[in-house]
């Protein structure tokens, strides 16, 4: 299957700082990517749809100014958590669709805000 | 009501057992159905996908969709301890958004 990578895999930051997470499609082009967050023992919660060349579409309840998404190219989307707080600590995962059935996920990024 | 419902488990079975994982969905517009496996602190891995109703088999895995009852199933034959993970069902409409709606996930433990 297609490969999606994320960097970093784990990041610890101090409260009030910003953190950038990268999502890359390694062997295919992705005009659309999705960002999810997942709390322990819970399912994935879709945060936003990242669109190459246009603004991201955010799900209801997700703060656009806090979670900045930039789809810089057909293989790269970034999520920046601005002014992070401990409640932003979570597992962030990106995905990219390949055709109507297949959607591949990255390995996830664990964010810990102290 | 969630659009995709899934029993969270945990489901504990002995090695070699046949496992049945199930989801129900409420949105008649869903046309594509997928099963993902997620190990702890890893991204979900696509296991199976089906379009509309019917069965699909891949090795020890069989995915089944019954659109009349809005029921999605995944069967695992000859279960192995390495199958211990969380299994997520997902559905999506036949539109251009590609958005997946996930169930809550079922934790499976296969005991040696």
Per-residue pLDDT of chain B (112 residues; tens, 9 = 90+): 789 999 888 999 999 999 999 999 999 999 999 999 999 989 999 999 998 888 999 999 999 999 999 999 999 999 999 999 999 999 998 887 889 999 999 999 999 9
Nearest CA distance, A3 vs chain B (angstrom): 11
Closest alpha carbon within chain B to A35: B99
- Is A100 within 8 Å of B94 when comparing Cβ atoms? yes
Closest alpha carbon within chain B to A30: B98
pLDDT digits (tens, 9 = 90+) for A73-99: 999 999 999 999 999 999 999 999 998
Cβ contacts from A onto B, under 8 A = 56
Closest alpha carbon within chain A to B85: A41
The pLDDT of residue A38: 94
pLDDT digits (tens, 9 = 90+) for A41-67: 888 999 999 999 889 999 999 999 999
Nearest CA distance, A7 vs chain B (angstrom): 13
A43 reaches B (C-beta below 8 A): yes
The pLDDT of residue B16: 98
The better pLDDT of the pair A109, B9 is held by A109
pLDDT digits (tens, 9 = 90+) for A6-36: 999 999 999 999 999 999 999 999 999 999 9
- Is B105 within 8 Å of A4 when comparing Cβ atoms? no
**Which long-range contacts link A4-9 to residues 24+ away (Cβ below 8 Å)?**
A4/A94, A4/A95, A4/A96, A4/A104, A4/A105, A4/A106, A4/B43, A5/A106, A5/A107, A6/A92, A6/A93, A6/A94, A6/A106, A6/A107, A6/A108, A6/A109, A6/B43, A7/A109, A8/A109, A9/A107, A9/A108, A9/A109, A9/A110
The pLDDT of residue B21: 97
The pLDDT of residue A53: 87
The pLDDT of residue B104: 92
Nearest to A1 among B46, B98, B103 (CB): B46
């Amino acid at each position: 299957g297609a490969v999606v990578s994320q960097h970093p895999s784990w990041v610890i930051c101090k409260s009030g700082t910003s953190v950038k997470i990268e999502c890359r499609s390694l062997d295919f082009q992705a005009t659309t990517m999705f960002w999810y967050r997942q709390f322990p023992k819970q399912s994935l919660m879709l945060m936003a749809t990242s669109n190459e060349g246009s603004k991201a579409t955010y799900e209801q309840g997700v703060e656009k100014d806090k979670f900045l998404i930039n789809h810089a190219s057909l293989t790269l989307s970034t999520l920046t958590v601005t002014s992070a707080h401990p409640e932003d600590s979570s597992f962030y995962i990106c995905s990219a669709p390949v055709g109507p059935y297949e959607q591949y996920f990255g390995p996830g990024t664990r964010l810990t805000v102290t | 009501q969630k659009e995709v419902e899934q029993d969270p488990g945990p489901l504990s079975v002995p090695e070699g057992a046949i496992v049945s994982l199930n989801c129900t969905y409420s949105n008649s517009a869903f046309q594509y159905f997928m099963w993902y496996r997620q190990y702890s602190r890893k991204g979900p891995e696509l296991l199976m996908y089906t379009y509309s109703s019917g069965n699909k088999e891949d090795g020890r895995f069989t995915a089944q969709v019954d659109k009349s009852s809005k029921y999605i199933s995944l069967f695992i034959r000859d279960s192995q301890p390495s199958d211990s993970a969380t299994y997520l069902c997902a559905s999506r409409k036949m539109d251009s958004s590609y958005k997946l709606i996930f169930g809550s996930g079922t934790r499976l433990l296969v005991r040696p």
